[in-house]
Amino acid sequence: MLTVNPVKSLQGKFDLPSSQDLFLLAVVTAVASNQPVVIKPIKISPLLNHWCDEFSRLASFQFDSGSCTVKPISSEDATSFLMLDYDYLPYKDLIIFILLGIGKTVAFRSVSQKRIDVICETIRRYGADCEVKTFDGNPGITLSKPPSISETFKVEERDISPLMGLYLGTRSAFTLQTTFPFANPLRHLAPVFGHEISFKSAVPRENDPFARRLKMLQSATSNNQGQKFNLTCDFSHPKTSEELIEISLPGDEILSTVMLSAKCLFPKGSFVISNMPLETWAAPALSFIRKMGCKVSVQETHRTSFGSAGMFSVQKCDLVGRKVECNPSSLYSVHLPAMTVLAAFAKGQSVFRNLQDLRNDEPDGIDQLETCIRTLGARHGEMPDGIVMDGGKDFDGFDLAGNIPAHIAASFAIAGLKCMGTTTIEDETLKMRWPDFESYLSQLYDLRS
């Protein structure tokens, strides 16, 4: 059980440990590309060891001095069946579809029938097909027909990750047109393996400078209406080298959001987060706090295999409630608890929309988060596709029990730092993901007297 007491400030420098979720995505991409890699830096945790055990029949893992060498097992010797813990699996809409594309039967512990149905519906949406069988009471999915989409396919933001996963797994290519920007972890990672990704404007360039400037002003005031982009992903010709490809990881994207929210609740004092992933898909909370009125300083310090990373600090923070369209919801879900904690302490109303997909899980993802918000004491209302909150009040300490996912437990631990009394939180999953989480906090905060 984690005990959290009120603090008066948060200061110092926090160097984020490397991302465990991106480690697993790199492993699965290496398996799909049949390419040995060395991934670094690595911070071992019980969760990382759990994943290595689950994927040990697809690749070998050798840890050494902060790095991990991953060598895919040949297709003849590798397993064709995987049993995975659905609750612990990150980037589900990428990893699951990559594995299915490779030709694996993927079975899940602790998954709802609604979620299985959604996965199958998604596969069929792309012209592919699948079969579902039960293994010791656990549902498993096998791809029975590869994907096939045309350039006229009407793509939505929620489609990008599953499409890229299936086509990467089947080592094929697609081209389609979108009306929204492209933000995805594979955008930078896939080219490291020799895959080709191109994302360009489909609107002809205006040669006249005055007309070009006028068009830019019109697009800026039309909420991106009329924008069109061509996205091409070719996964058919990966590198075929026996030499190790080096994969560099940024800091933990979920922990960065948790620490970012902590600093916004305690704006006094100097606090810097380093090694923070700065790509749009990794830091949706960054745009949220800017909309809330926070002035932040972001400095890129280095590039990783997943894009830019750098330093973050808060210069001024006036939290005001805002509306957020969480699209696609898969990129927001793990960051949402920290964002709702900020909304609980912000002035005015905050609305989080486009979260209906969370209702396909068991327990219901929106209901689970609302239970925690209610336990904190924040005012909120339920919507079919989201949450509405009224913030701006003080809270007493609270007790959060049960099997709470780590990203929720960590976020509400931060809320406990701002409360007037003692807070206790069940920390089993928290210790599995971040065994040093309590020491992270104790090194940074100053207790209230």
The pLDDT value recorded for residue 114 is: 97
One-letter amino acid at 233 equals C
Confirm if 144 and 129 have CB atoms less than 8 A apart.
yes
Report the share of the chain in percent with pLDDT over 90: 75
Residue type, 344: A
Please compute the mean of the pLDDT values over residues 37-41 and round it to a whole number: 97
pLDDT given at position 161? 96
Secondary-structure class of domain 20-247 per CATH: alpha beta
pLDDT score at 361: 94
pLDDT of residue 449: 44
- Dihedral sign computed on CA atoms, order 390, 392, 395, 399: positive
Q: Which fold has domain 2-17+250-447?
A: UDP-n-acetylglucosamine1-carboxyvinyl-transferase; Chain (3.65.10)
- With 70 as the cut, is the pLDDT of residue 239 above it? yes
Between these two residues, 75 and 365, which has the higher pLDDT value?
A: 365
Taking the C-alpha atoms of residue 235 and residue 191, their distance in angstroms, rounded to an integer, is: 9
> Is residue 218 very low, low, confident or very high in pLDDT (cuts 50, 70, 90)?
low
Contact 57, 265 (CB under 8 A): no
pLDDT at 68: 97
What integer pLDDT is reported at residue 428 of this predicted model? 92
Selection from 330, 331, 339 nearest residue 412 by Cα = 339
Name the CA radius of gyration of the chain, rounded.
Answer: 22
Host H or E run for residue 188: helix 186-192
Neighbours of 155 (CB within 10 A): 17
Question: What angle separates helix 406-418 from helix 253-265, to the nearest 10 degrees?
Answer: 10
Q: Are 429 and 405 contacting, i.e. CB atoms less than 8 angstroms apart?
A: yes
Mean pLDDT of the chain: 91
> Which pLDDT does position 120 carry in this prediction?
97
Give the residue, 401 or 205, on which the prediction is more confident: 401
**For residue 245, what pLDDT is reported?**
95
Look at residue 338 in the predicted model and tell me its pLDDT.
97
**Fold: same for 2-17+250-447 and 20-247:** yes
Residue 411's Cβ-side half-sphere holds a number of Cα atoms within 13 Å equal to 26
Query: Measured between alpha carbons, how far is 157 from 327 in angstroms, rounded to an integer?
Result: 7
Reference 22, options 328, 389, 264, 279; nearest CA is: 279
Residue 326 DSSP SS3: coil
Tokens of residue 207, six digits? 């040669």
**pLDDT above 90 for 242:** no
Q: Where are the beta strands (DSSP E) in 120-206?
A: 129-135, 138-145, 173-178, 196-201
Domains of the chain, by residue range, sit at 2-17+250-447, 20-247
**428: helix, strand or coil:** helix
Identify the pLDDT of residue 9. 82
Name beta bridge partners: 320.
347
Asked if pLDDT for residue 207 goes beyond 80, the answer is no
pTM value is 0.92
Write down the pLDDT at residue 150.
78
Q: Helix, strand, or coil here: 155?
A: coil
Q: What is the DSSP string of 277-312?
A: E-STTT-HHHHHHHHHT-EEEEEEEEEETTEEEEEE
CA–CA dist 302, 449 (Å, integer):
40
